[in-house]
Structure formats: structure tokens, C-alpha cells
Amino acid sequence: MDIEHAEAVDSTSWDYVVVDSEAPHAENQQPPPDTVEDSPSPEPVTEDANIGTETPCVLHVDSGLVGKVSYVVIEPGLLSPKVVGVTPSSPNGYSAMGILRDSSVRVLIGSGFVDRYYPPVPTGLLILDGVLISPVNDRGLSTILAVKNHTVHFMSVGSFDSAGITGALQVGPRLVSNGAVVVSQSKLRYKHPATRGFFAKRANGQVVVGITHGYVLLENLAHYLARPEDTGGLFCVDAVNLSGGSSEVLAIRRENGTALVEGNSHGRQASIIVFQSP
């Protein structure tokens, strides 16, 4: 595949990617040692970058309460969610570039947490295509994102029921629940700021997935996600933290077959959530 860097869109640094349309596959070569690099200081962004303005999903770039954030708003019922990840037959996991070989993938967000990077070993629950890959653990990841009836549901670890679940991964901490911020920085085990990934939903059923470009405290991110749009937030009623740092990745496919990828495009992940065309 050919990869070239496009000009920045509203001061973002998205990769402009041409991908082949074939089934996604686990990549076999071993990656370099994992590193976390400082994110560049964001330049001011004056308006949203609406890329891929077709109905199912729209990319936005915001520079406000928590610095620069790239996020995609996915309309309800138009794309089908699926969890992709490590299996016994694909122990090296999947990269964003590998997944984007499937032309039906319109959006992807990563990633789930791992106990080990190479090969990736998921932390806690992972269910793929209705098959249990990794069991629930009690190491502080309190939320399960579960795919049921073509919708992603927020479930607590303590009340999780696998009936009817086709895909699931264990993540956390929960940031917003029923419109209220539920994370407190003082009670977190890890209190330092970091680049973040998030999965959120609005009251109207829209899914909002995104990543931060700079270092953010989780409590600040939660307030940004819950705050009404007219005061600078994203007005989400439910939200959860995903693995950030060098694991974060966000991609959206455009109608011409190219994709815009932000974050770790080639690193193999234990779990990624994708949204596919019917």
C-alpha cells in the first residue's frame, strides 16, 4: 500500500492513506520496542474539520478545554460495530492499517488495554464473534463495552451478562454516566496526565470516539465530554477511557477509498472497535 503525508487539515497531522480492499489480517513482523513520544504543541483550530461529510460519520477537530482533540461522530443505526482483536490463530493482533484493508470499515478506535505489548495480551475481558478470548479481571478496569444487537452498550464488570454479546472488551475508568462525571482525579491510582482515547455516547444515540493530542487528566477529559456543546464540550451522557499513549489510534475512511489515520497506525493491538458499512 502507498502511504503519504497530506497537508495538515486545520493544524492536524493526519496521515493520508491509500489502502487495498481485502480482508484484514494480523501482521507477522515484530514491531520495534514500544515508545511514548511527547505530542507536539497544538496550533489553534478555529473550526471543525468535517471530513467525510457523508451521513454515517463526520470527523471533527477541536482545540478548546483540554487542548487539541480529534473525534468522530457516528450516527445511530447506520454503521455496525464490531470488536477486532487477538485470537489463537492471530496471536500478533491487528494494526489499524491491516484492519483498513477491509473496505467495509468506516471508522476505528483503539485500543483496549494490554498486559503485554509483543505479542499483545489483553487486560481483562475480550469477546470476539461470541467467543471468549480473555476472562474478566478485577484489576481496576470497571467498564465493559459490549456489542449486542448491532449497538455498543456500557456495562459494569459486576453486572456483566454475556447473553447475546457478540463482542466485548474491558476498559476504564468510567468517565461519564447518565450525564454526570463519575471519575475523581484524587481517587485514581494513576494520577498523571497522558494522551487519551475515549468512547462515548450522546442521549440521541450518536457515538463519539476520539483521541487527545496532548497530555490530559482524566477528570478534565470527563468534564469536557459531559459539558454541553454551547459551553465548549461534547455533551455526552456516557463515556469511558480507552488505552492512550502510544496505543491510541483513530481512523475514518472517506468515500474515495482513502483513510485518515491519527495515532499508532502500524502497531499491533490486542483489541480495536470498528464500525462497518452494512
User: Which of 29-38, 70-79, 264-273 comes out lowest in average pLDDT?
Assistant: 29-38
- What are 95-149's pLDDT values in tens digits? 999 999 999 999 999 989 998 888 899 999 999 999 999 999 877 799 999 999 9
pTM attached to this predicted model: 0.82
Neighbour tally for 118: CB within 10 Å: 15
Q: Predicted confidence band at 278 (pLDDT cuts at 50, 70, 90)?
A: confident
Is pLDDT of 14 > 60? no
pLDDT mean across residues, the chain = 81
Q: Specify the pLDDT at position 55.
A: 55
3-state secondary structure (DSSP) of residue 245: helix
Q: CB of 44 within 8 A of CB of 63?
A: yes
- Alpha-helical segments (H) within the chain: 96-99, 218-226
Per the rule left: phi > 0, alpha: psi between -120 and 50, beta: everything else, 45 is: beta
CA separation for the pair 266, 1 (Å, rounded) = 12
- What are 38-51's pLDDT values in tens digits? 333 333 332 333 44
Q: Predicted confidence band at 5 (pLDDT cuts at 50, 70, 90)?
A: very low
Neighbour tally for 28: CB within 10 Å: 9
